[in-house]
Structure 1
Amino acid sequence: MDKLYWLDQIKLQDRAKAGDKAYYLSRIMQRGYPVVPGFVVSAEVLREFLETLNSSEALVADLPHSSLHLDVNNWRQLQQVAGRLRQEISTAVLPAHLLSTIVNAAKELESAYLIFRPSFVVPTARHGIGNTSGLLESEVCRCDEQAIALALKRTWSQMFRAKSLLYWQWAGIKVQQINLGVLVQPLKNAIASGSLNANSSEWEILATSGLGLAITQGDVLPDVYYIHPVTGAIRERQLGNKMLAYCVNDTAAVASLQTVPASPLTSDDSNLVTYLLDEDQQKQYALPEEYLQPLIQLANQLVKEIGTHFTFEWTLSCDPTRTLYLTQVSTPQATISNFHLLKGLAAAPGRVTATAHVITNSQQKPEPPPKRVILVAPTIAPDWLPLLQNAAGIITEQGGLTSHAAILARELGIPAVVRVGHATKIIQTGERLLIDGDKGEVYRLTREAGEAVERGKGDKGTGKQGDVFTNLSDSISSSSPHLPMIGTQLLVNLSQPSLIEQVQSLPVDGVGLLRSELMALNILEGQHPNTWVREGHQTQLLERLREQIMQFARAFAPKPVFYRSLDWRSHELLSFNDSLQSSTQSMLGERGTFSYLQNPAVFELELAALAAVQKAGYSNVHLLLPFVRTVEEFSFCRQKVEQAELTQVPQFQLWIMAEVPSVLFLLPEYVKAGVAGISIGTNDLTQLLLGVDREQGQLAKAFNERHPVVMGAVAQLIQTAKSAGIPCSICGQAPVLYPEIIEQLVRWGITSISVEPEAVERTYLAIARAEQRILLEAARRQLNQST
């Protein structure tokens, strides 16, 4: 049948019918490169299938010939049309002769599972954007007649989903001009998978365990290798964050991986499953060392074939041959020609397109920028919070994942990319940008490209404050009845009353960290708290603090709310006019409880506000003291707490942050002095143990919360707290950035984990997996002992 094209036989004249993806793969396969075999169901088969659709609806009946000119601004109509077309395609019956031919070809691949990859050719778009990556997705199915028919129809139907129709319409492409082929290949389990991105100055290899889906789904941070393109030497390598992997749902294969299988990928797709990597695997590079050089050699050979700029995806097979296969190859013709990419560090999730507003001087607080712009600055100070309330996104030249810019962005639910070198010099105010906070990418757009992405952003979210949390809330609410029970408490970090409503529906046990500094910035009107006191406005400030805290107490009652008292470093509030501030630019400053000894007036106001909340009938608010250096500092604060009569409420608890290394040696003394619990702040604990300022992006490699010293300190704190009979929480970024340590925390005996709202869902599931695994191990040990 000339409507099927085997990958090793596709010719130039077949390109339009087989599609670009299959054509490029066939081209290198025929030159002797290791490519996974397969065949293409040509575009002619889709046209023949569409001709067979029997429908009284004019829209469906005329589908092969319709240009589908829709009003793309009418989202309801667009969704309805897309839904109707896809339903019609998915429920239609494939002609028997077509299906029989395809099934027979599939059986020749000798694989229990198949992957259907869209491979198409489209005419030149009127705006010059030729990249359709991610527009159509692959389908996985078992190798049987019914599954093959459904997978093929699902692949075809993606051409008619809402975002596809939107793209065709904007690009000026008529549906009948699109030649959509489907590349069918065997899908077998892999030891490792990834990609290699090549240009004339550097190659980048990404690698993860199992199938490459873990990278495309964003479930892992892959290992990265940077390669010199001429010598093939490894310039640098970075171990990723890989807790899970994907494989096909083959019991024997999963067992051979010596892992603990997790739940299926989705409730309606049992073809793929995730599996947990054990601790040793997580600490190792996914790509075995002996296969790294062969992969580099493959890239060297391809340079001679297709030039210096290309990308290919690869997989290392699980079969006895342990072969490195290429699964996809693309060249610059498929890149977005009018996008200029800047790379940084993904700091807060989300994707948004907006106008840039560049701030070159971070030493003083700027004037309020226009609403819904992307702020571009060298760095961002905490007192910039009011400026960020209406921002669409954040880009900074400096900082890391625990910098103020990153924390504020995650708190507000807006995308952020930090450590973008020379961003304030490259980007100009008024320029259209797309920032991807999931990938750490910033695109400078032409006007036309910006308008296109803006119209198409409905599938990816707007980055508007609260959208991340609203979507998360909806997702979890719909699945809550099916969430497994967990024994470890999951708490949330908050500061903004405006986010309470979205967070209330999340499966959390309370607020583990109420950041008073960010909360107070909403009420201080640009004046330092000391200024309010000095000018005699204590009563007004007390009432404002009480009202702010009351909102959280009321919303979460009877669940606990841990209010952390103010902890500002002097140089973080440069815009506050206060003569009492230190002029030094110290990394530490006169911060934490030490500052209360120096000037207790503001701390006493905070205690009075907490007492007022108690008198209003809320006994769920507790106090968390920040940056405690000595037992004497704690005892001073406890005395102030007693004077404010907070301890007269039996439920009240006085905790300390465990972030100064001295607490490792003094914790038993703190407990004797009255500490009721501790919360580990991994951000400050890491920088003090390793001597690294977390605000300095160039030192990011040295700031490692997984360093054995840091993890050893965390383990010691948890175990000492357990011995002393007090609860121990953790509220730093470590569990979010490195979810693989959650199992260690649970094993050590952590009582609660507190994370930002956007991380609640994945942290909940990570805790559930960890507890399930620990229980399973305990049950097996008991069974072995009994036998």
Structure 2
Amino acid sequence: MTLLLLEPLQQYPPEDLSPTLVALQATQKILPPPHPVWLICPQVWDQLCSGVIPLWQAACDRWQEMPPNASDLKALALQMTHQLPPLDLGELETVFAACHHFWQQQGGESHLVLTSYLWQETQDLPWSIGSGTVLRYPSLPLCHQAIEKTFAALVRAKNLYLYWQQGWDFCQIKVAILLYPLSSIVASGWWIGTDPTFRAIAGGVALPHQGIPLPPRGIDLTPVQEQQLQQACRGASSHLWVWHRSQTQVWWGQCLPEPQGRTLPLKPLERTLIAEGIAAAPGQAIAPALVVTEPCAPAAVAGRILVTKTIPPHWLPLVNAAVGVICEQGGLTSHGAILARELGRPAVVGVANATQRISSGMTLFLDGQRGAIYQLPSEPLPVVATPSPQTASPPAVKRLPLQIMVNVSQVNALRLLPSLPCDGIGLLRSELMLFAFLDQRHPCHWLEQGEAEQLRDRWVQHLWEFMRAIAPRPLFYRTLDLRPADYRQLLGGHRFEPETDWGLRGVSRYPHCPELFHLELSALAIAHRLETCPLRIVLPFVRSVSEVVYCQKALAEHGLTASAGVQLWVMAEVPAILFLLADLAQLGIAGITIGTNDLTQLLLGIERETALPELNEDHPAVRRAIAQLIREAKAHHLGCSLCGEAPAHYPHWLPWLIDLGIDSISVSPEVVTQVLAQL
């Protein structure tokens, strides 16, 4: 067992630190933060990795003859992860007690920030290789778990590939973790001393470890505070800095090794239209292209426009790292389009032969609003990403004829909720949410390896984030609808997923894998106890009454019943539901959620990843099915919601749905204000 060693950053010998940590050490002497800052010493990683170095060396010997594929990297990552010894609490208990004392003194919310720094000799490695974590209301066990997770992330398959690809000597890499507490702060932001316009302001805690910074909004720095920061980082101004601001003070929180410029070119761009497709996610980006046909390390995609044939959900880290997305296949309801919208990445899908027409390194201007892709001159240009502008909230109205909710799956999307006049989360896509914390492993693989509790804890943490962000408004949580094609690509997936993609969809899987279903319900029950958020559990892909009866019994075992304030709903997306609604109403379900994406593809016999513009939700057959579902739901006194983008795309849908008497609709966060404007 390895002992955790922590020291105050200011007391650590500069000669044993990375260049960025030395710069941070110097600036915090000039502009000291109001909280203590600790460093988990590099010696901890030296001890942890000693047992995995032989595995790495043996793998590199094999790769000299044949480069690794995804399976090789995943197998090595799993082997190395299991070889990492557990961490003893060591000095963490004392440090956490000091953090707790700071939170008590400051009052307000408590956060704990952890960021990993990697370097080799005197060269910093990109911060995108490491990880940054902000724990809200942390406990000592949660902090300990987060540190172990941060170290384990260094031997993930994506990072192993990057070490090998870039020629970095894994055996010589140094790692330190910066740790410090925060209480309630007014804002956090990014800064490059040579470019004072490079600032991203956001309420609460916002750190640049997930993609491109947000545009300035809300609160800003005063001229005096800007001057303080400029003077403090003199001599290291080209680094990417993180600042925090309280009501009375501003200070440097972190220093990162690689700045990202955002200055737009002064003269008009010379551009050539090279391709067009479906505008799937708004916003614009200027960056080099990276054509990807096989999964690669997210760090290789960072600052690039991702160009690929299709985007399966397990490519979430790639979409998150990219500044924009171009996809040959897919439509507005494809997984790539959904992820891009939630992560705020401009995207164009359905671009024929994109991977042949675009080559890596080509400088592109991607317009996700118009669905256009332009080639720019070859001279160097700064990487620029502009997410869709945040539309101002419309004036408050006395009463709306229906409720407007949002569809989400990624915690990143929660940044929009405080400014959105929505009535709740109308659909939390759990199977997409899981990709954020599965570490590229099938959930049944976690169970097989005896790591059910670790998986449940991650599940609870994510659920709590969503519940806390939306409470006291309701959250509609759709239980797992594992699509075999998506989950087959994960570690262990080929053993747990059937060859056919339409067999074990939705609730039909639960009796075949009760351990996973009960683990999910356990996570829901814990999160529901932690946060008083009205919970609506929605069963996906229901095809028979017996499936719902099975789920009701399982829910009751975990206390997820009406008496506990939990409602049970079902997805109305399989055409069979048209003939089962009366029977389901007798079982006591509270309502139905009409899923337009799956209902459309099943009624019309199309694939959601294939763009066929003439076959869409506005097809007469789909509209008649929706009308029948709403009328029958009202007849049986069931709640009725509709999830999908159709109300935003077709102006005639809103008045039509209102006339039918629907209770609510749920759309992507970026179109909420558009729908409200139509109302």
TM-score (norm 2): 0.59
Q: Look up the match of 1:170.
A: 267
Report how many residues are paired.
Answer: 420
Q: Name the counterpart of 1:303.
A: none
Q: CA 1:593 to 1:360, structure 2 compared with 1: closer, same or farther past 3 Å? A: same
- Deviation of 1:703 after TM superposition, in Å, equals 2.5
Provide the aligned C-alpha RMSD in A: 2.3
Task: Go from structure 1 to structure 2 and tell me whether the alpha carbon gap of 1:375 and 1:589 turns closer, same or farther (over 3 Å shift).
Answer: farther
Question: Are 1:709 and 2:640 counterparts?
Answer: no
Residue 639 of structure 1 aligns to a residue whose secondary structure is helix
What's 2:632 paired with?
A: 720
Match of 2:311 in 1: 380
Kindly state the Cα deviation for residue 353 of structure 1 after the two structures are TM-superposed.
Answer: 0.8
Report the CA distance between 1:687 and its aligned residue.
0.7
Letter in 1 for 2:499: T
Q: Does 1:655 align with 2:655?
A: no
Q: Secondary structure at the match of 2:495?
A: coil
CA contact (8 A) 1:619 1:652 kept: no
CA contact (8 A) 2:308 2:327 kept: yes
Which residue does the alignment assign to 1:536? 450
The answer to whether the Cα contact below 8 Å between 2:327 and 2:354 also exists between their aligned partners in 1 is yes
CA deviations on 1:715-764 (whole Å, 9 max, x unpaired) are: 01111111111110001222232232111011101100101111100111
- The secondary structure found in structure 1 opposite 2:331 is coil
Structure 1: 5+ residue stretches without partners: 1-71, 77-164, 172-335, 769-787
> Aligned partners of 2:340, 2:599: CA distance in 1, in Å?
22
The structure, 1 or 2, with the larger RCO (C-alpha pairs under 8 Å, 6+ apart) is: 2
Q: Does 1:580 align with 2:498?
A: no
Change (3 A) 1:655 1:702: same
Equivalents in 1 of 2:620, 2:657: separation in Å? 14
Amino acid at match of 2:356: K
Of 736, 743, 746, 2:655 maps to 743
Larger Rg: 1
| Offset from partner CA, 1:91-150 (integer Å, 9 cap, x none) | xxxxxxxxxxxxxxxxxxxxxxxxxxxxxxxxxxxxxxxxxxxxxxxxxxxxxxxxxxxx
What is the Cα deviation at residue 635 of structure 1? 0.9
Q: Counterpart in 2 of 1:307?
A: none
Match of 2:283 among 329, 350, 362: 350
Deviations 1:471-501 (A, max 9, x none): 426x11xx444x5641311101112223313
8 Å CA contact 1:739, 1:763 repeated in 2: no
Deviations 1:298-348 (A, max 9, x none): xxxxxxxxxxxxxxxxxxxxxxxxxxxxxxxxxxxxxx8652421111111
1:366-445 matched pairs, under 5 angstroms: 366-368=296-298, 369-445=300-376
| Change over 3 Å in CA distance of 1:667–1:764 after alignment to 2 | same
Pairing 1:36-55 to 2, within 5 Å after superposition: none
SS in 2 for 1:514: strand
Cα deviation per residue 1:615-670 (whole Å; 9 max; x = unaligned)? 22524122111111111111111111111111164421010110000111111111
- The secondary structure found in structure 1 opposite 2:296 is coil
> Equivalent residue of 1:472, what SS?
coil
Counterpart in the other structure of 2:676: 764
**In structure 2, how many angstroms separate the alpha carbons of the residues matched to 1:727 and 1:373?**
44
How big is each residue's C-alpha offset from its partner over 1:252-276, in whole Å with a ceiling of 9 and x where there is no partner?
A: xxxxxxxxxxxxxxxxxxxxxxxxx
| Whole-Å separation in 1 of the counterparts to 2:613 and 2:411 | 35
Q: Which runs of structure 2 are paired with 1:222-301 in the superposition (5 Å)?
A: none
- Specify every segment of 5 or more residues in structure 2 that has no aligned partner in the other structure, as ranges: 1-193, 199-262
Separation in 2 of the partners of 1:355 and 1:511? 36
* 2:240 is equivalent to residue 339 of structure 1: no
1:630 aligns with 2:544: yes
- 1:472 and 2:397 are equivalent in the alignment: no
Matched to 2:267, the amino acid is W
| Alpha-carbon distance between aligned partners in 1 of 2:549 and 2:584, rounded to the nearest angstrom | 9
Match of 1:255 in 2: none
Percent identity of paired positions between Structure 1 and Structure 2: 42
- Structure 1 residues 379, 585: closer, same or farther in 2, change over 3 A? farther
Q: Secondary structure at the match of 1:662?
A: helix
CA contact (8 A) 2:475 2:533 kept: no
Query: Secondary structure of 2:329's match?
Result: coil
2:585 matches 1:687: no
State which of 448, 462, 467 in structure 2 corresponds to 1:548: 462
Task: Quote how far apart the aligned CAs of 1:367 are.
Answer: 3.1
Task: Write the distance in 1 (CA, Å) between the matches of 2:264 and 2:506.
Answer: 53
Partner Cα separation in structure 1 for residue 264 and residue 562 of structure 2: 63
- Code of the aligned partner of 1:367: A
CA contact (8 A) 2:542 2:574 kept: yes
Q: Is the 8 A contact 2:281 2:345 kept in 1?
A: yes
Task: Spell out, residue by residue over 1:154-179, the C-alpha distance to the aligned partner (whole angstroms, 9 max, x if none).
Answer: xxxxxxxxxxx988x536xxxxxxxx
SS of the residue aligned with 1:623? strand
Cα distance in 1 for residues equivalent to 2:503 and 2:278: 27
Give the structure 2 partner of residue 670 of structure 1: 584
CA shift, 1:388, in A, is: 1.4
Conserved? CA contact 1:565–1:625, under 8 Å: yes
For 2:585 and 2:570, the matched residues in 1 are separated by: 10
Query: Per-residue deviation at 1:400?
Result: 1.1
Instruction: State the SS of the aligned residue for 1:446.
Output: coil
Could you tell me which amino acid in structure 2 is paired with residue 489 of structure 1?
A: Q
- Cα 1:166–1:514 change in 2 (3 A) is closer
Check conservation: 1:561, 1:621, Cα contact below 8 A: yes
Residue 704 of structure 1: how far off its partner (Å): 1.6
- Find the counterpart in structure 1 of residue 149 from structure 2: none
- Alpha-carbon distance, 1:389 to partner: 1.3
3-state SS of 1:765 partner:
helix
Residue 371 of structure 1 deviates from its aligned partner by 1.1
Residue among 635, 639, 644 paired with 1:732: 644
Pairwise CA distance, 1:598: 1.4
Please give the secondary structure, in 2, of the residue aligned with 1:400.
Answer: coil
Structure 2 residue aligned with 1:360: 293
